[in-house]
């Protein structure tokens, strides 16, 4: 391997790693606030890319229908669970958020899609369609069992993942697509050709990470979420509604997933099930970061991206094997040094 | 193999297995389905043991099925080895793989373990799919069927017998294992690792043992799968399959062996029916099976997270321990003559960062005495206990017990030396019966291992252990609740269960951490009487207690701690008058 190849792999790795970092941050966030290990996080990524691809071709994407379906399920789930204590406020909220919002977005998409308004509008529309899915999924699948063990929540997450994969095939079909690059500019740095797309990925990721740091460090809402993650009972006692916190965490996760989808669309051909592997690699990074530390997670995600690039150069067949095996030495290290603890529940 | 435990059910099963598939009542389609149910049951039974009983969640069992299947596939296809001969090979490969993976993963705490299993579960899936020798993504076709003589077992009905004989053997082996000495240790792991370790259970080894056992059941399932399917490809060994196996164990009722079969049947039939029924209902587009499957999974977790078996068949039956033959007794440990020095703490010190919890404390315990360790809250009493019993390492100083230095002490070694303890916060396995909890105390007095338990050759020893446990329960006055689940007892009773469990160890020194807290007056009197009796037998007692009447009336000598420092030592009457002690408890008179 010479320096050019190394630099090329490094660039490739950093760009993939940046996308993993966003997804991994979402995984850590959701786990910290709700103890759910969000296996279906990758689905947000794939669905966003597929939505943008449809909009670029002037087609009506199926995403609003999926959103409406999830909205109906969320509404039904909440109505059944709170049948005896329905208030006007709750019903209004359900109608507005679960039914009116998806229908409004459906009509908007139907109007905008044939107009081919261009990249910015496509991206914003896709993000707007995907983000509400987060809290809806939380309310359908996780809120009723919010107090269960991590294991039960993890299995439920797999259940959601299976269902979303099935829905993805149903709504988006088996074909894969790519999306137009965010910037077609490119320049060379020595031997290395740097594409505008890579620069865009890095800028967007860095920007979002800074925004997140500000959100959690400076705003009341961010601090409330942090309180939930460090002590749920304590947070409830001081008046932070943990259900709302869970919904916000899921909304942020869906938002981060959607942005990752925007970034990843031009880099690869995205299929309805591509999200799973992206999510799992981010998940490897999240575990390497110990599921707690955001900066460590970002570093780990960059490491995973770079390792993946190296492995695909050396032994492309065994790329996935090696990436997932990365976790083993870390776990081994933890198993030697981590103190023995009783099961969390 | 002797079928002494519940011989009825296995025999009925055996008859059903040998006759049912040949009556012609079941169409071949259903016989085939039952074969898959049986193969999955094996994996799910392993998971019940691993997850439901041992508290270790694995999403990666499908990979072990893969090890079993690929081993026999490669040996029969590439080298023409007879399928029967590859069975030990499949099991051995799985065992080695599980041993290596388990050594790295089972010590992980909390949710890291399931996460680790997901990671290697995926890694092995891609590994199987990329090794050309194993046929890569296309897999290995042309695996020969099992043969008896020249007759090939190809028809589903014939294979049914093979599969279900394996399932029944696995059920018997697993029930035997769970009922035995190692089984009790494993069942204690999930609820109370601390208690298990305090009575000599090597938790890391026990966890690894369960992990390997569960993996070998999966390997057996893989071997059966390969010769039934007669080809292997990576598909059925991925993370989705691993999740499905876990779901079977949870659906049936994690922790219940028969539940695993129920769960396997439920999931297999459900998936099969969804595949048949949904395309007819909604047309042929889309992957409705996956959607419905995920939805069912979420619904089960929301409405029946303890599984179906407990809902249908109620709680597990109480254990039926064997009775000992003749007058056989467990050999008792020789006790030192009363008054000989037993335990010496010299400048024992424990610092947590800047906080010195135990500050150069020295005291002695002689055999046949009751020594009270008292002091206000936060004085360092429980920390001293933990130093003596090896739960925490000393920062400096030394503790000697019968001449053995306890520096590099583990709870297991402390138990082996004859230190029996109770806990300030009760450490009881709530879903195990009272007598089994007490029998856990005698863990080190038995020697039956995994294989002896599985083959049911541990009955004589078990009889002795249970007889001893029953005797200790009689002594603490809990004989009438011996077969109730421990979780149903009141706090005071649980403290007495802990005392009985510590006595079951046949201790030289009994360390009791606030045994009278939560006891009623009558129970306290009975406990005091018991402790005097124990002292008369030559056993020493180190007693941490806040109830002054209780401890003053019992103790031969008191050691008083305050803020980690020993402030007084002497007979109860002298301590009562000691101005320093009075100041520590009541505040200074200035």
Report if residue B449 sits inside a domain. no
- How would you classify residue A93: left for phi > 0, otherwise alpha for psi between -120 and 50, otherwise beta? alpha
Q: What distances in angstroms separate CA A225 from CA A33, A212, A255, A298, B372, one per listed residue?
A: 6, 12, 16, 20, 48
Looking at the partner chain, which of A141, A164, A331 has a beta carbon nearest the beta carbon of B105? A331
Domain boundary among B267, B293, B313: B313
Name the pLDDT band for A103 (thresholds 50, 70, 90): very high
Lowest mean pLDDT among B154-168, B309-323, B563-577: B309-323
Report if residue B421 sits inside a domain. yes
Per CB-CB distance under 8 Å, the chain A contacts of B108 are 331, 334-335, 338
Query: In chain B, which among 554-583 make CB contacts under 8 A with chain A?
Result: none
Structure confidence at residue B3 (pLDDT)? 42
Structure ipTM over 0.85, yes or no: no
Q: What percent of chain A is modeled with pLDDT above 70? A: 95
Q: Taking a C-beta distance cutoff of 8 angstroms, is the pair B465, B442 a contact?
A: yes
Q: Give the gap in angstroms from C-alpha B63 to the nearest C-alpha of chain A.
A: 13
Place of tokens 């020095």: B341
Q: Give the gap in angstroms from C-alpha A202 to the nearest C-alpha of chain B.
A: 27
Looking at the partner chain, which of B111, B243, B287 has a beta carbon nearest the beta carbon of A158? B243
- Say if residue B184 is in the same domain as residue B302: yes
Interface test with B, best of A174, A290, A315, A324 (most B CBs within 10 A): A324
SS3 per residue for B20-62: HHHCCCCCHHHHHHHHHHHHHHHHHHHHHHHHHHCCCCCCCHH
Q: Taking residues A301-330, what's their average pLDDT?
A: 83
Residues for chain B: how many in total?
590
Per CB-CB distance under 8 Å, the chain B contacts of A331 are 104-105, 108, 112, 116, 119
Q: Do B110 and A140 touch (CB under 8 A)?
A: no
Q: Does A334 touch chain B (CB under 8 A)?
A: yes
Q: Taking residues B295-316, what's their average pLDDT?
A: 79
Per CB-CB distance under 8 Å, the chain B contacts of A158 are 243, 294, 297
Which chain B residue has its CA at the smallest distance from A323's CA? B123
CATH number of the domain encompassing residue B216: 1.10.3470
Residue B588 in this model has a pLDDT that exceeds 70:
no
- Say if residue B300 is in the same domain as residue B376: no
Structure confidence at residue A133 (pLDDT)? 94
Strand residue runs (E) in B196-340? 231-232
Nearest to A15 by CA among A199, A189, A177: A199
What value does the mean pLDDT of chain B take?
A: 85
- Say if residue B254 is in the same domain as residue B152: yes
Residue B319 in this model has a pLDDT that exceeds 80:
no
Structure confidence at residue A341 (pLDDT)? 40
- Coil, helix or strand at residue B91: helix
Looking at the partner chain, which of A141, A336, A338 has a beta carbon nearest the beta carbon of B109? A338
Q: Taking a C-beta distance cutoff of 8 angstroms, is the pair A45, A279 a contact?
A: yes
Dist CA A213 CA B533 (whole Å): 65
Looking at the partner chain, which of A37, A145, A343 has a beta carbon nearest the beta carbon of B190? A343
Structure confidence at residue A307 (pLDDT)? 87
Name the pLDDT band for A343 (thresholds 50, 70, 90): very low
Per CB-CB distance under 8 Å, the chain A contacts of B412 are none
Per CB-CB distance under 8 Å, the chain A contacts of B105 are 331, 335
Q: Taking a C-beta distance cutoff of 8 angstroms, is the pair B585, B567 a contact?
A: no
- Say if residue B246 is in the same domain as residue B360: no
Name the pLDDT band for B1 (thresholds 50, 70, 90): very low
Q: Taking a C-beta distance cutoff of 8 angstroms, is the pair B286, A170 a contact?
A: yes
Q: Give the gap in angstroms from C-alpha B161 to the nearest C-alpha of chain A.
A: 33
Strand pairing category for B140-141 and B231-232: antiparallel
Q: Is B192 exposed, middle or buried (0-12, 13-18, 19+ CB in 10 A)?
A: buried
Greater confidence (B519 vs B225) lies with B225
Interface test with A, best of B302, B304, B426 (most A CBs within 10 A): B302
Greater confidence (A292 vs B126) lies with B126
What value does the mean pLDDT of chain A take?
A: 84
Q: What distances in angstroms separate CA B389 from CA B205, B212, B374, B392, B541, one per listed residue?
A: 20, 30, 18, 8, 14
Within 10 angstroms of residue B404's Cβ, the number of other Cβ atoms is: 12
Name the pLDDT band for A1 (thresholds 50, 70, 90): low
Per CB-CB distance under 8 Å, the chain A contacts of B287 are 165-166, 169-170
Contacts of B148 (CB under 8 A, 6+ apart): none
Q: Taking a C-beta distance cutoff of 8 angstroms, is the pair B193, B206 a contact?
A: no
CATH number of the domain encompassing residue B390: 3.40.50.300
DSSP run (H or E) holding B349: strand B341-352
Interface test with A, best of B100, B102, B109 (most A CBs within 10 A): B109
Contacts of B378 (CB under 8 A, 6+ apart): B563
Report if residue B34 sits inside a domain. yes
Strand pairing category for B370-374 and B540-544: parallel
Which of A11-15, A50-54, B287-291, B300-304 reaches the highest mean pLDDT? A50-54
Q: Do B114 and A151 touch (CB under 8 A)?
A: yes
Q: Does A2 touch chain B (CB under 8 A)?
A: no
Structure confidence at residue B589 (pLDDT)? 54
Greater confidence (B409 vs A39) lies with A39
Nearest to B220 by CA among B106, B93, B133: B93
Greater confidence (A109 vs B320) lies with A109
- Say if residue B266 is in the same domain as residue B404: no
Q: Does B58 touch chain A (CB under 8 A)?
A: no
Query: In chain B, which among 279-298 make CB contacts under 8 A with chain A?
Result: 285-298
Q: Taking residues B512-533, what's their average pLDDT?
A: 88
Interface test with A, best of B53, B66, B114, B116 (most A CBs within 10 A): B116
Q: Do A140 and B298 touch (CB under 8 A)?
A: yes
Residue B322 in this model has a pLDDT that exceeds 80:
no
Q: B206-243: per-residue pLDDT in tens?
A: 889 999 999 999 999 999 999 998 889 888 898 888 98
Strand pairing category for B151-152 and B231-232: unpaired
Q: Does A333 touch chain B (CB under 8 A)?
A: no
Which chain B residue has its CA at the smallest distance from A316's CA? B130
Helices (H), B80-155: 83-105, 112-130
Per CB-CB distance under 8 Å, the chain B contacts of A342 are 109, 192-194
Report if residue B146 sits inside a domain. yes
Residue B590 in this model has a pLDDT that exceeds 60:
no
Q: A75-86: per-residue pLDDT in tens?
A: 998 888 888 888
Name the pLDDT band for B267 (thresholds 50, 70, 90): confident
Per CB-CB distance under 8 Å, the chain B contacts of A332 are 104
Name the pLDDT band for B20 (thresholds 50, 70, 90): confident
Q: Does B204 touch chain A (CB under 8 A)?
A: no
Instruction: Domain count for chain B, please give it.
Output: 2
Strand pairing category for B370-374 and B557-562: parallel
Q: Taking residues A92-111, what's their average pLDDT?
A: 90
- Say if residue B307 is in the same domain as residue B359: no
Looking at the partner chain, which of A162, A325, A332 has a beta carbon nearest the beta carbon of B293? A162
Q: Which two tokens stand for residue B61?
A: 């069992």
SS3 per residue for chain A: CCHHHHHHHHHHHHHHHHHHHHHHHHHHHHHHHHCCCCCCHHHHHHHHHHHHHHHHCCCCCCHHHHHHHHHHHHHHHHHHHCHHHCCHHHHHHHHHHHHHHHHHHHHHHHHHHHHCCCHHHHHHHHHHHHCCHHHHHHHHHHHHHCCCCHHHHHHHHHHHHHHHHHHHHHHHCCCCECCCCCCCCEEEECCEEEEHHHHHHHHHHHHHHHHHHHHHHHCHHHHHHHHHHHCHHHHHHCCCCHHHHHHHHHHHHHHHHHHHHHHHCCCCCECCCHHHHHHHHHHHHHHHCCCCCHHHHHHHHHHHHHHHHHHHHHCHHHHHHHHHHCHHHHHHHHHHHCCCCCCCC
Q: Do B108 and A342 touch (CB under 8 A)?
A: no
Q: B410-432: per-residue pLDDT in tens?
A: 888 888 888 899 988 888 888 88
Q: B376-403: per-residue pLDDT in tens?
A: 888 888 888 888 888 888 888 888 888 7
Q: Do A155 and B289 touch (CB under 8 A)?
A: no
- Say if residue B300 is in the same domain as residue B346: no
Dist CA B79 CA B77 (whole Å): 6
- How would you classify residue B563: left for phi > 0, otherwise alpha for psi between -120 and 50, otherwise beta? left
Dist CA B526 CA B522 (whole Å): 6
Greater confidence (B99 vs A343) lies with B99
Q: Does A240 touch chain B (CB under 8 A)?
A: no
**DSSP state, residue B419:** E
Per CB-CB distance under 8 Å, the chain B contacts of A307 are none
Instruction: Find the Cα–Cα–Cα–Cα dihedral B558, B562, B563, B564, rounded to 10°.
Output: -20
Report if residue B172 sits inside a domain. yes
Which residues are bridge partners to B36 per DSSP? Answer: none
- Coil, helix or strand at residue B365: strand
Within 10 angstroms of residue A219's Cβ, the number of other Cβ atoms is: 11
Instruction: Find the Cα–Cα–Cα–Cα dihedral B220, B223, B224, B230, rounded to 10°.
Output: 170
Q: B193-210: per-residue pLDDT in tens?
A: 888 888 888 888 888 999
Q: Does B117 touch chain A (CB under 8 A)?
A: no
- Say if residue B192 is in the same domain as residue B290: yes
Domain boundary among B313, B331, B355: B313
Q: Taking a C-beta distance cutoff of 8 angstroms, is the pair A166, B289 a contact?
A: yes
Structure confidence at residue A344 (pLDDT)? 37
pTM for the model: 0.85
Residues for chain A: how many in total?
345
Nearest to A264 by CA among A26, A43, A55: A43
DSSP run (H or E) holding B394: none
Structure confidence at residue B376 (pLDDT)? 84
Q: Taking residues B34-61, what's their average pLDDT?
A: 90
Q: Does A114 touch chain B (CB under 8 A)?
A: no
- Say if residue B147 is in the same domain as residue B247: yes
Q: Taking residues A199-211, what's their average pLDDT?
A: 88
Dist CA B153 CA B162 (whole Å): 9
Report if residue B460 sits inside a domain. no
Contacts of B160 (CB under 8 A, 6+ apart): B17, B20, B21, B31, B34, B35, B38
- Coil, helix or strand at residue B443: helix
Contacts of B85 (CB under 8 A, 6+ apart): B75
Q: Taking residues A189-215, what's their average pLDDT?
A: 84
Q: A237-287: per-residue pLDDT in tens?
A: 887 887 888 899 999 999 999 999 998 888 888 888 888 888 888 888 887
Dist CA B261 CA B41 (whole Å): 5
Which residues are bridge partners to B151 per DSSP? Answer: B148
Report if residue B276 sits inside a domain. yes
Residue B51 in this model has a pLDDT that exceeds 70:
yes
Report if residue B448 sits inside a domain. no
- Domain span at B383: 341-430+500-586
Within 10 angstroms of residue A301's Cβ, the number of other Cβ atoms is: 28
Structure confidence at residue A337 (pLDDT)? 65
- Say if residue B84 is in the same domain as residue B233: yes
A-B C-beta contacts closer than 8 Å = 151
Dist CA B53 CA A343 (whole Å): 13
- Say if residue B34 is in the same domain as residue B70: yes
Within 10 angstroms of residue B139's Cβ, the number of other Cβ atoms is: 20
Per CB-CB distance under 8 Å, the chain A contacts of B116 are 327-328, 331
Per CB-CB distance under 8 Å, the chain B contacts of A161 are 294
Query: In chain A, which among 160-199 make CB contacts under 8 A with chain B?
Result: 160-167, 169-170
Q: Which two tokens stand for residue B342?
A: 């037993």
Per CB-CB distance under 8 Å, the chain A contacts of B107 are 335-336, 340
Dist CA A31 CA A20 (whole Å): 16
Nearest to B480 by CA among B470, B468, B465: B470
- Say if residue B225 is in the same domain as residue B177: yes
Q: A147-187: per-residue pLDDT in tens?
A: 887 778 888 898 899 899 888 888 888 888 888 887 777 77
Structure confidence at residue B580 (pLDDT)? 85
Dist CA B314 CA B304 (whole Å): 13
Helix, strand, coil percentages for chain B (3-state, nearest 5)? 60, 10, 30
């Amino acid at each position: 391997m010479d320096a050019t190849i190394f630099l090329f792999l490094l660039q490739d790795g950093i760009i993939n790693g940046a996308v993993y970092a966003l997804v991994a941050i979402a995984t850590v966030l959701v786990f910290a606030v709700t103890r759910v290990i969000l296996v279906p996080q990758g689905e947000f990524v794939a669905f966003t890319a597929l939505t943008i691809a449809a909009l670029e071709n002037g087609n009506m994407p199926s995403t609003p229908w999926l959103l409406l379906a999830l909205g109906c399920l969320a509404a039904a789930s909440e109505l059944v669970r709170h049948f005896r204590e329905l208030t006007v406020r709750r019903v209004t909220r359900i109608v507005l958020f679960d039914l009116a919002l998806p229908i409004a977005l459906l009509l908007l998409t139907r109007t905008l899609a044939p107009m081919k308004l261009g990249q910015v509008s496509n991206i914003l529309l896709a993000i707007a369609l995907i983000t509400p899915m987060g809290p809806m999924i939380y309310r359908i699948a996780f809120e009723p069992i919010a107090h269960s063990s991590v294991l039960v929540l993890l299995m439920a997450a797999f259940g959601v993942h299976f269902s979303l994969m099935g829905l993805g095939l149903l709504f988006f079909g088996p074909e894969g697509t790519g999306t137009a690059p965010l910037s077609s500019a490119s320049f060379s740095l020595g031997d290395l050709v740097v594409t505008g797309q890579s620069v865009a990925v890095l800028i967007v990721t860095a920007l979002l990470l800074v925004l997140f740091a500000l959100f959690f460090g400076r705003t009341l809402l961010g601090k409330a979420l942090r309180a939930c993650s460090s002590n749920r009972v304590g947070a409830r006692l001081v008046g932070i509604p943990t259900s709302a916190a869970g919904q916000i965490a899921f909304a942020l996760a869906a938002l981060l997933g959607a942005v990752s989808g925007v970034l990843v669309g031009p880099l690869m051909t995205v299929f309805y099930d591509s999200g799973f592997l992206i999510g799992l690699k981010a998940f490897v990074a999240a575990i390497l970061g110990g599921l707690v530390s955001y900066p460590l997670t970002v570093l780990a995600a960059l490491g995973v991206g770079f390792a993946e690039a190296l492995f695909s150069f050396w032994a492309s067949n065994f790329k996935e094997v090696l990436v997932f095996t990365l976790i083993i030495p870390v776990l081994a290290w933890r198993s030697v040094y981590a103190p023995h603890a009783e099961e969390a529940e | 193999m002797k079928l002494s435990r519940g011989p009825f059910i296995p025999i009925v099963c055996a008859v059903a297995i040998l006759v049912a598939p040949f009556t012609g009542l079941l169409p071949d389609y259903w016989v085939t389905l039952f074969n898959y149910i049986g193969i999955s049951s094996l994996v799910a039974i392993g998971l019940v043991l691993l997850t439901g009983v041992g508290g270790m969640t694995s999403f990666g069992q499908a990979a072990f099925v893969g090890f079993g299947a690929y081993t026999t596939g490669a040996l029969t296809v590439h080298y023409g080895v007879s399928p029967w001969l590859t069975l030990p090979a499949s099991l051995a490969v799985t065992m080695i793989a599980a041993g290596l993976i388990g050594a790295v993963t089972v010590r992980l705490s909390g949710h890291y373990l399931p996460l680790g299993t997901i990671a290697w579960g995926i890694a092995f899936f891609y590994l199987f799919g990329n090794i050309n020798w194993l046929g890569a993504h296309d897999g290995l076709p042309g695996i020969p069927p099992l043969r008896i003589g020249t007759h090939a077992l190809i028809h589903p009905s014939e294979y049914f017998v093979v599969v279900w004989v394996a399932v029944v053997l696995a059920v018997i082996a697993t029930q035997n294992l769970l009922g035995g000495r190692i089984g009790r240790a494993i069942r204690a792991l999930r609820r109370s690792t601390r208690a298990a370790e305090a009575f000599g259970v090597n938790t890391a080894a026990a966890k690894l043992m369960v992990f390997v056992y569960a993996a070998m059941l999966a390997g057996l399932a893989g071997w059966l799968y390969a010769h039934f399917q007669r080809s292997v490809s990576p598909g059925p060994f991925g993370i989705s399959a691993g999740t499905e196996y876990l779901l079977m164990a949870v659906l049936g009722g994690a922790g219940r062996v028969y539940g695993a079969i129920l769960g396997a049947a439920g999931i297999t039939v459900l998936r099969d029916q969804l595949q048949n029924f949904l395309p007819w209902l909604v047309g042929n587009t889309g992957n409705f099976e996956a959607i419905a499957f995920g939805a069912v999974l979420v619904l089960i977790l929301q409405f029946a997270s303890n599984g179906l078996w407990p809902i249908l068949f109620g709680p597990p039956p109480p254990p039926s321990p064997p009775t000992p033959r003749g007058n056989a007794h467990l050999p008792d440990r020789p006790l030192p003559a009363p008054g000989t020095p037993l335990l010496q703490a010299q400048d024992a010190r424990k610092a947590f960062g800047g906080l010195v919890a135990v500050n150069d404390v020295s005291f002695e315990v002689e055999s046949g005495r009751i020594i009270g360790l008292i002091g206000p809250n936060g004085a360092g009493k429980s920390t001293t206990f933990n130093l003596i019993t090896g739960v925490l390492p000393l920062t400096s100083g030394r503790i000697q017990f019968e001449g053995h230095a306890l520096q590099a002490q583990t709870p297991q070694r402390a138990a082996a030396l004859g230190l029996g303890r109770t806990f300030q916060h009760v450490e009881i396995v709530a879903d195990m019966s009272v007598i089994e909890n007490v029998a856990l105390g005698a863990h080190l007095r038995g020697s039956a291992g995994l294989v002896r338990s599985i083959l049911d050759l541990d009955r004589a020893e078990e009889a002795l252990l249970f007889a001893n446990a029953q005797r200790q329960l009689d002594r603490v006055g809990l004989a009438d609740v011996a077969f109730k689940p421990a979780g149903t007892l009141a706090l005071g009773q649980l403290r007495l269960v802990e005392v009985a469990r510590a006595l079951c160890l046949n201790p030289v020194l009994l360390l009791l951490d606030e045994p009278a807290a939560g006891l009623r007056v009558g129970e306290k009197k009975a406990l005091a009487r018991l402790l005097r009796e124990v002292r008369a037998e030559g056993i020493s007692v180190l007693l941490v207690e806040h109830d002054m009447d209780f401890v003053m009336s019992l103790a031969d000598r008191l050691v008083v701690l305050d803020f980690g420092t020993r402030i007084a030592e002497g007979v109860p009457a002298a301590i009562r008058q000691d101005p320093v002690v009075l100041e520590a408890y009541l505040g200074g008179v200035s």
